[in-house]
C-alpha cells in the first residue's frame, strides 16, 4: 500500500509536470526583477549553489563558451542565465 501510494504520488507529480510543460512552456517568463539581473549577480547566485564561484581569469573566451553549455546542462540554468554569466566571465 505504501509503495502504491508513493508510486501514485510520483506518477501524479510527473503527469502534473508534463501538463505544466505542455500548457505553460511558452508562457514561462521571468519577472522584471529577474530579467534585469546582471551577469555578475547571476554568477554569484547560481555557481555557489554547488561549488565556489569561478574566477573569470581561469579560462579563455572560447573555453568559457564550452563550459557554459556543460554547466547549463548540469545545473539546469535558463538560457538567459547562461548567456549573462558567460558574458561576465569572458570580460
Question: For binding to other proteins (CB under 8 A), which residues are involved?
Answer: 3, 6-7, 10-11, 13-14, 17, 20-21, 25, 28-31, 33-35, 45-46, 48-55, 58-59, 61-63, 65-67, 69-70, 72-81
The minimum distance between CB 38 and other proteins, in angstroms, equals 13
Least Å distance, CB 13 to other proteins, is: 6
d(CA 47, CA 42): 8
- 53: Cα within 13 Å, side-chain hemisphere: 13
Residues 44 and 54: beta-carbon distance below 8 Å: no
Crossing angle (nearest 10°) for helices 61-75 and 79-89:
150
Minimum separation from the CB atom of position 91 to other proteins (A): 17
Amino acid at each position: 500500500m505504501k509503495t502504491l501510494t508513493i508510486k501514485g504520488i510520483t506518477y501524479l507529480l510527473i503527469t502534473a509536470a508534463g501538463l505544466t510543460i505542455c500548457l505553460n512552456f511558452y508562457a514561462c517568463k521571468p519577472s522584471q526583477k529577474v530579467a534585469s539581473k546582471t551577469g555578475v549577480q547571476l554568477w554569484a547566485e547560481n555557481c555557489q549553489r554547488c561549488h565556489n564561484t569561478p574566477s573569470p581569469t581561469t579560462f579563455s573566451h572560447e573555453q568559457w563558451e564550452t563550459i557554459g553549455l556543460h554547466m547549463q546542462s548540469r545545473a539546469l540554468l535558463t538560457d538567459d542565465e547562461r548567456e549573462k554569466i558567460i558574458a561576465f566571465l569572458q570580460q
